[in-house]
A and B are shown apart, each in its own frame.
Chain A
Amino acid sequence: MARGVKIRVWGDFALFTRPEIKVERYSYDVMTPSAARGILEAIYWHPGMRWIIDKIYVNKPVRFTSVRRNEVKSKISASNVLKAYNGGDKPLYLCSKQEIVQRASAILTDVEYVIEAHFEMTQKANESDNPGKFKDIIMRRLRRGECFHMPYFGCREFPAHFALCEEDDIATAYDDVPEKDLGIMLYDMDYTDPGNIQPVFFQAVMRHGVLNLADCEVIR
Chain B
Amino acid sequence: MGEAIKNRYEFVVLFDVENGNPNGDPDAGNMPRIDPESGLGIVTDVCLKRKIRNYIETVKEDEKGYKIYIKEDVPLNRSDREACTSVGVQETDEKKVTEALKKLKKNEPGTDEKLRDYMCSNFYDIRAFGAVMTTFVKAALNCGQVRGPVQIGFARSIDPVMSQEVTITRVAITTEKDAENKSTEMGRKSIVPYGLYRVEGYISANLARRVTGFSEDDLELLWEAIINMFEHDHSAARGKMAVRELIVFKHSKELGDCPAYKLFDAVEVIKKENVFYPRKYQDYVVKVHEEEIPDSVEVKRMI
Q: Which residues of B contact A158 (CB under 8 A)?
A: 153-154
Other-chain contact of B35, A65, A71, A82 (Cβ < 8 Å): A65
Q: Which residues of B contact A96 (CB under 8 A)?
A: 50, 70-72
Bound together, the chains give a CA A144 to CA B204 distance in angstroms of 16
CB distance from A142 to the nearest CB of B (A): 9
Q: Which residues of B contact A69 (CB under 8 A)?
A: 26, 44, 46
Most chain B beta carbons < 10 A, residue from A67, A69, A149, A194: A149
B41 CB within 8 Å of chain A: no
A167 CB within 8 Å of chain B: no
| Contacts known (A82-B101, A93-B78); A75 close to B72, Cβ less than 8 A | no
Asked whether, in the complex, the Cβ of A194 is within 8 Å of the Cβ of B69, the reply is no
Bound together, the chains give a CA A87 to CA B76 distance in angstroms of 13
Other-chain contact of A149, B72, B79, B149, B262 (Cβ < 8 Å): B149
Among B80-88, B184-192, B213-221, which stretch is in contact with chain A? B80-88
Tell me the nearest residue of chain A to B95, going by C-beta.
A86
CB distance from B94 to the nearest CB of A (A): 6
Docked complex: B116-140 residues within 8 A CB-CB of A: 119, 122, 131-136, 138-139
B302 CB within 8 Å of chain A: no
B25 CB within 8 Å of chain A: yes
- Mostly, the A contact residues are mixed
Q: Which residues of B contact A63 (CB under 8 A)?
A: 37
Q: Which residues of A contact B25 (CB under 8 A)?
A: 68
B29-69 CB mask vs A (1 if < 8 Å, else 0) is 00001011100001011100010000000000010000111
Asked whether, in the complex, the Cβ of B70 is within 8 Å of the Cβ of A93, the reply is yes
B78-111 CB mask vs A (1 if < 8 Å, else 0) is 1111111000000100100110010000000000
Q: Which residues of B contact A72 (CB under 8 A)?
A: 70
Among B166-174, B229-237, B252-260, B267-275, which stretch is in contact with chain A? B252-260
Q: Which residues of A contact B164 (CB under 8 A)?
A: none
CB distance from A55 to the nearest CB of B (A): 23
Bound together, the chains give a CA A141 to CA B135 distance in angstroms of 34
| Contacts known (A149-B147, A194-B141); A91 close to B260, Cβ less than 8 A | no
Bound together, the chains give a CA A162 to CA B134 distance in angstroms of 32
A90 CB within 8 Å of chain B: yes
| Contacts known (A69-B46, A93-B78); A78 close to B134, Cβ less than 8 A | yes
Tell me the nearest residue of chain A to B138, going by C-beta.
A195
Docked complex: B130-164 residues within 8 A CB-CB of A: 131-136, 138-139, 141, 144, 147, 149, 151-154, 156
Size of the chain A interface, CB-CB below 8 angstroms: 60
Other-chain contact of A157, B73, B79, B153 (Cβ < 8 Å): B153
Other-chain contact of B151, A78, A91, A156, A191 (Cβ < 8 Å): A156
| Contacts known (A12-B153, A85-B84); A159 close to B200, Cβ less than 8 A | yes
B18 CB within 8 Å of chain A: no
Other-chain contact of B70, A85, A94, A102 (Cβ < 8 Å): A94
Asked whether, in the complex, the Cβ of B83 is within 8 Å of the Cβ of A68, the reply is no
Other-chain contact of A147, B75, B84, B119, B255 (Cβ < 8 Å): B255
Q: Which residues of B contact A161 (CB under 8 A)?
A: 259-261
Asked whether, in the complex, the Cβ of A78 is within 8 Å of the Cβ of B112, the reply is yes
Bound together, the chains give a CA A14 to CA B33 distance in angstroms of 18
Q: Which residues of A contact B259 (CB under 8 A)?
A: 144-145, 161-163
| Contacts known (A78-B115, A78-B133); A92 close to B78, Cβ less than 8 A | yes
Asked whether, in the complex, the Cβ of B258 is within 8 Å of the Cβ of A144, the reply is yes
A3-39 CB mask vs B (1 if < 8 Å, else 0) is 0000000001100000000000000000000000000
CB distance from A22 to the nearest CB of B (A): 14
Most chain B beta carbons < 10 A, residue from A13, A93, A102: A93
Other-chain contact of A80, B74, B77, B207 (Cβ < 8 Å): B77
A152 CB within 8 Å of chain B: yes
Asked whether, in the complex, the Cβ of B253 is within 8 Å of the Cβ of A146, the reply is yes
Docked complex: A59-100 residues within 8 A CB-CB of B: 63, 65-72, 74-87, 89-99
Bound together, the chains give a CA A158 to CA B78 distance in angstroms of 31
Bound together, the chains give a CA A38 to CA B91 distance in angstroms of 42
Bound together, the chains give a CA A77 to CA B36 distance in angstroms of 38
Asked whether, in the complex, the Cβ of B78 is within 8 Å of the Cβ of A150, the reply is no
Bound together, the chains give a CA A144 to CA B262 distance in angstroms of 11
A212 CB within 8 Å of chain B: no
Q: Which residues of B contact A82 (CB under 8 A)?
A: 79, 98, 101
Asked whether, in the complex, the Cβ of B206 is within 8 Å of the Cβ of A95, the reply is no
Q: Which residues of A contact B70 (CB under 8 A)?
A: 72, 93-94, 96
- Additional 9 contacts, C-beta under 8 A, given A85-B80, A195-B139: A12-B154, A13-B154, A75-B132, A81-B84, A85-B98, A86-B94, A144-B258, A146-B257, A150-B151
